[in-house]
Amino acid sequence: MYLSAQISYYPLTDDYKAPIKDIVKRLELSELEVYSNRMSTQIFGEFEDVMGVFSEIMKWSFDTYGKAVFVVNFIEGDRRPRS
């Protein structure tokens, strides 16, 4: 099953830019398709891959930067932007 997800990440720190950039960079290094904009990052791939990468990224974030809020929307299917 193909899964599309939109992630917004809010590190609970005054210096929030570095953690956000690190999360996006780690997502871009995954095997998933990743599209970022100013408000969120969208990831696309097989269900198990998306959930596995998201789980690893979220744990890494908490271990590295501490408390944060992740807001995620999941939708079954391919919702990649079309050019």
What residue ranges define each of the domains in the chain, with the CATH number in brackets? 2-76 (3.30.70.930)
Q: What is the pLDDT of residues 13-44, one digit of tens each?
A: 999 999 999 999 999 999 999 999 989 999 99
pLDDT of residue 2: 95
Phi, psi of 71, rounded to the nearest 5 degrees: -115, 120
pLDDT of residue 78: 80
pLDDT of residue 79: 80
Read off the pTM.
Answer: 0.87
CA–CA separation, 7 vs 71, rounded Å?
Answer: 6
pLDDT of residue 83: 64
pLDDT of residue 8: 97
53 DSSP assignment: H
